[in-house]
Chain A
Amino acid sequence: MRKEYIEKQKKAGRKVLAVLPIYYPKEILTAANIHAVELWGPPGPPKGPSAGRVQSYICAVARNAVSFFADGHAEMADGILFPHTCDSIQGMATMLPDFGGWDKKTFNFIHPRGDRRKSLEVFLEAELRKLAADCAEWSGAKLTNADLMEAIRLHREIDAIRAELLDKRSRLSMNDAELYGLLRRGEWLWPEDHLNELKEARQKITSETVQKAAPLMITGIVCEPMSIFKVLSDAGAYVAADDYAAIGRRVVKKDAPAKGDPFKVLAELYHGAPPCPTRYAHQPLRMEYLSNLAKSAGVRGIIIHEVKFCEPELFDIPAIKAAFAKLDIPLLYLETELEKEMPGQAVTRLEAFVEIINAKKESEGKS
């Protein structure tokens, strides 16, 4: 379905841009009539002759992507965008164009690091302007400020509904697999099509709590394998608070002005995203954010679901453990490697974790 859909976009005259994780100014691509297709892996072991080009201690997101591109599985894409997320994507962004595997158009988007300061503001705006100019030149679109403001408006609408679905999770009559399937289709649908699906889903928000299972919080990079949701649901839990970098951490709950310099607006929105280590969030601020998210959703447990070898995430684990110990919220640490299905041992651990939190709730109820 995804493949046919992308082909249709191409036929409609849009350039297809494969985008690596995590953050990138989608608005610019939309305004330049470029169809973004995100690539998180893809799941499964890396296959083909290029599978061995990246060492096994590099995360599966980067490892799999290298073999996917280098072995010609992305022929539908006309270009790649490498956001400068981490050392692994940085490495990939030089390996593929320099040493073979990608000879079509390449864009880089450099994330500024450090506290918000004058130099950073100037740089970010210049980087956004450069990306916009490069995209317009590539796609042949005449990119005006009005186009950009319209794309900003469209993505604000999308984010507002995504935020609503996540925030009102307990009242949304969809299961996790359905909800996450919908949210992840945003990774490859044209924004207007995604918005229509989101609007439909919004109808499923009710006035009563419909989720009766144990509310959990989940944090990590990406919800792969997606079967994690079925495992949780079968065990009697659901995700009430989301902090996946691929999902919740990309939802900017901020309004944008209808008029103004679109690059200044984009820069403001950039700073409005929830805290993420890959974008240099201060650790204490991030812990405060996570604690508040957990409290407001009334979660009974937190699952840290990491992609193995993801350094940006791993440095925050001790702080998360300490923050949730303080809240007396049980924690499960789980690592996966973009497998197609949840490994058996991980399933057992998830089931046991849900049992523990349910038992805790019961004993608290008795005392």
Chain B
Amino acid sequence: MITRRIQYEMAGRVVGPVLMNIQRMQKKLKGKKKPKDNPYGPPIEAVKKLKEIMTLYYLQGRYADGAVPVAWVTSGFPVEVLAPLGFFSIYPENHAALCGVSRVVVEMSDEAEKVGYSRDICSYARTDFGCMLTEKTPVGRLPKPDLLACCSNICQTVLFWYRSLAAHFNVPLVVVDTPFVYGEAPEHHLKYVKDQFEELITVAEKVSGKKMSEEKLHKITQEALTASNLWGECLAAGKAKPSPWTGFDGFFHMAPVVTLRGHKICTDYYRLLLDELNDRIAKGIGGIKDEKYRLLWDNLPIWFSVREMSDLLANNGFNFVAATYTDAWASAGRQIDPSDPIGSGARTYQHIILNQDLNNRLNLMKAMVEEYSVDGAVLHSDRSCKPYSMGQIDLRDRLAKEAGIKALVLEADHNDPRSYAREQAENRLTAFMESFG
């Protein structure tokens, strides 16, 4: 345990930073590459810091089990409650997305399919089952969980997914169940979520062997709130014309607010990013060089194809300036009140976009169209994410009619390239762009 703890601390405080410095120096020595003739503005400098933070996070994670309590959590889980008890949190969804970008999903999914997981379940889940079964991962190693923590606010898929994880790892599974909000949440629904927050603390204390510190809880909640607000401001930078970055950049830069909110490193990162975005706005630097049309993205990104899709759009002067997906970690977080972390946290986590009715989503999208001066919307109909995709055909029609913009439903999958007809999708996007004249 002590050796493990030393390894863990060393990875986080010494080895990681040293490796990062070496990498930085190597890059400097190589010299700056000549900017390629591409449709993008100058690259966002903060990306380097982002890579460092995420590399360090996964590096430290390799040594976390046995050193500190480890929780595997869903992306919408109230981790602010776990952090004061010293938990190191792993986000299987974020890890699966990383596998998507690293293009190892097919291999991992095949492994999951071999034992009987269907290709019709969420590709994030399949990816992680594959990694779990083979113990292979692009990040070297994932720590084994002491606790599985699942919140039903993003989908019910995670409930089924985490039940399977619980059976595999034979560790406690704690569920924060957030009744879906149709219109207004009735009083007993709000109370239910709040009661579960209290119960969660008891379970987490037992697993970690520590007592909850109110002071730490307040501090971490405040830090998470600040990070969410800063992330919101970064996204809002997209309202500028031209937008200082692309929505595709946003998909990558959201990693810290998902995985590290509540930690100072995350807050510092978004300060850095925001400064850079504001600087770009002041200088009139755009995410793409020639921004003619501004688009809104709905649903998860297509992780394995972000670059190609981005190129296709940027080459034609189209930029995604807003996305419902990246916004989720900004708009929900803003409602947290650090003086009432449990009560406000319960309300916040119940009211995230995916846990509310379609009217709410339509209104959010219409507001985004307005605020970000959007000309068109692409709704990614994601074969793997049924809760996010159901209703999109109606959303497209409503949005076109009520917001007066062009809207396209694009069939794909967020992580599995086998469910993506690239040529067909590109043809549809091209035809969509041509419709703008």
* Interface residues in chain A, defined as those with a beta carbon under 8 Å from any beta carbon in chain B: 52-55, 57-58, 62, 84, 86-88, 90-95, 98-100, 108, 110, 112-115, 117-120, 122-123, 126-127, 130, 277, 280, 282-284, 308-309, 311-312, 314-322
Question: Are B390 and A92 within 8 A (Cβ)?
Answer: yes
Which one of A86, A87, A94 lies within 8 Å of B357 (CB-CB)?
A94
Q: Say what secondary structure dominates the interface of chain A.
A: helix
| A87-B155, A87-B386, A314-B117 known; A98 vs B164 contact (CB < 8 Å) | no
| A57-B386, A87-B386, A311-B120 known; A119 vs B164 contact (CB < 8 Å) | no
Complex-state Cα separation, A311 to B387, whole angstroms: 11
Question: Are B192 and A315 within 8 A (Cβ)?
Answer: no
Residues from chain A with a CB closer than 8 A to the CB of B390 are 54-55, 58, 62, 87-88, 91-92, 95
Report the nearest B residue to A110, measured CB to CB.
B179
Residues from chain A with a CB closer than 8 A to the CB of B265 are none
Question: Are A126 and B166 within 8 A (Cβ)?
Answer: no
Question: Are B116 and A57 within 8 A (Cβ)?
Answer: no
Complex-state Cα separation, A113 to B257, whole angstroms: 27
Interface 9-mer from B28-36, B314-322, B391-399, B422-430: B391-399
Which one of B161, B177, B198 lies within 8 Å of A114 (CB-CB)?
B177
Nearest 5 CB-CB pairings of A with B? A91-B390, A114-B175, A119-B195, A318-B116, A315-B160
| A86-B156, A122-B191 known; A57 vs B120 contact (CB < 8 Å) | yes
Question: Are B121 and A315 within 8 A (Cβ)?
Answer: yes
* Interface residues in chain B, defined as those with a beta carbon under 8 Å from any beta carbon in chain A: 115-118, 120-122, 125, 152, 155-157, 159-161, 163-164, 166-167, 174-177, 179-180, 182, 186, 188-189, 191-192, 195-196, 198-199, 357-359, 362, 381, 383, 386-387, 389-395, 398, 411
Residues from chain A with a CB closer than 8 A to the CB of B177 are 112-114, 120
Which one of A86, A94, A322 lies within 8 Å of B358 (CB-CB)?
A94
Complex-state Cα separation, A88 to B199, whole angstroms: 29
| A55-B381, A98-B357, A282-B166 known; A311 vs B199 contact (CB < 8 Å) | no
| A309-B120, A317-B118, A321-B116 known; A94 vs B182 contact (CB < 8 Å) | yes
Complex-state Cα separation, A62 to B186, whole angstroms: 26
Which of A122, A284, A314 neighbours the largest number of chain B CB atoms within 10 Å of its CB? A314
Residues from chain B with a CB closer than 8 A to the CB of A53 are 393-394
Report the nearest B residue to A312, measured CB to CB.
B160
Question: Are A54 and B115 within 8 A (Cβ)?
Answer: no
Tell me how far the C-beta of A104 lies from the nearest C-beta in chain B, rounded to whole angstroms: 15
5 A-B interface contacts by CB (under 8 A): A55-B389, A90-B180, A108-B180, A127-B188, A277-B163
Tell me how far the C-beta of A182 lies from the nearest C-beta in chain B, rounded to whole angstroms: 32
Report the nearest A residue to B176, measured CB to CB.
A114
Complex-state Cα separation, A127 to B156, whole angstroms: 19
Which one of A55, A62, A284, A314 lies within 8 Å of B393 (CB-CB)?
A55
Report the nearest A residue to B152, measured CB to CB.
A113
Q: How many CB-defined contacts (below 8 Å) exist between A and B?
A: 157
Question: Are A52 and B195 within 8 A (Cβ)?
Answer: no
Residues from chain A with a CB closer than 8 A to the CB of B121 are 311, 314-315
Residues from chain B with a CB closer than 8 A to the CB of A98 are 357-359, 362
| A90-B156, A314-B118 known; A95 vs B386 contact (CB < 8 Å) | no
Tell me how far the C-beta of A105 lies from the nearest C-beta in chain B, rounded to whole angstroms: 13
Tell me how far the C-beta of A257 lies from the nearest C-beta in chain B, rounded to whole angstroms: 25
Question: Are A311 and B122 within 8 A (Cβ)?
Answer: yes
Residues from chain A with a CB closer than 8 A to the CB of B118 are 314, 317
Question: Are A283 and B163 within 8 A (Cβ)?
Answer: yes
Question: Are A87 and B359 within 8 A (Cβ)?
Answer: no
Question: Are A99 and B391 within 8 A (Cβ)?
Answer: yes
Question: Are B167 and A87 within 8 A (Cβ)?
Answer: no
Tell me how far the C-beta of A297 lies from the nearest C-beta in chain B, rounded to whole angstroms: 23
Question: Are B163 and A308 within 8 A (Cβ)?
Answer: no
Tell me how far the C-beta of B353 lies from the nearest C-beta in chain A, rounded to whole angstroms: 12
| A57-B383, A112-B177 known; A312 vs B156 contact (CB < 8 Å) | yes
Residues from chain A with a CB closer than 8 A to the CB of B358 are 91, 94-95, 98-99
Report the nearest B residue to A123, measured CB to CB.
B192
Which of A52, A308, A316 neighbours the largest number of chain B CB atoms within 10 Å of its CB? A316
Report the nearest B residue to A108, measured CB to CB.
B182
Question: Are A93 and B182 within 8 A (Cβ)?
Answer: yes
Residues from chain B with a CB closer than 8 A to the CB of A112 are 177, 192
Residues from chain A with a CB closer than 8 A to the CB of B392 are 55
Residues from chain A with a CB closer than 8 A to the CB of B359 are 94, 98
Tell me how far the C-beta of B308 lies from the nearest C-beta in chain A, rounded to whole angstroms: 23
